[in-house]
Amino acid sequence: MAVSSRVSFGVMAIVALIFSIALPAVVQAQAPAPAPISDGTTIDQGIAYVLMLVALVLTYIIHETN
């Protein structure tokens, strides 16, 4: 019983050693993800929302005075 546990421990130690050597090489080989690029549509949409809000406020102000 003691021999089989030593053998299984040895096998597990060898497998752990192989994984500890091989896995960092795989991780370093992967390229990083590219940075997100803004094409300006988000900025345009934000400006449009602000202009619509200004138009809504001006409409309420103009109709309040009548």
pLDDT tens sequence across 14-66: 888 887 887 776 555 667 777 777 778 888 999 999 999 999 999 988 887 76
Number of domains in the chain: 1
Query: Which pLDDT value is given to residue 3?
Result: 64
Neighbours of 57 (CB within 10 A): 10
Distances (CA, A) of 18 to 28, 51, 53: 16, 61, 62
Query: Which pLDDT value is given to residue 13?
Result: 83
Q: What would the two tokens of residue 2 be?
A: 């003691």
Which has the higher per-residue pLDDT, 20 or 4?
Answer: 20
Domain of 28, in residue numbers: 2-32+39-65
- Given a cut of 60, whether residue 1 has pLDDT beyond it is no
Distances (CA, A) of 60 to 49, 50, 55, 56, 65: 17, 15, 9, 6, 9
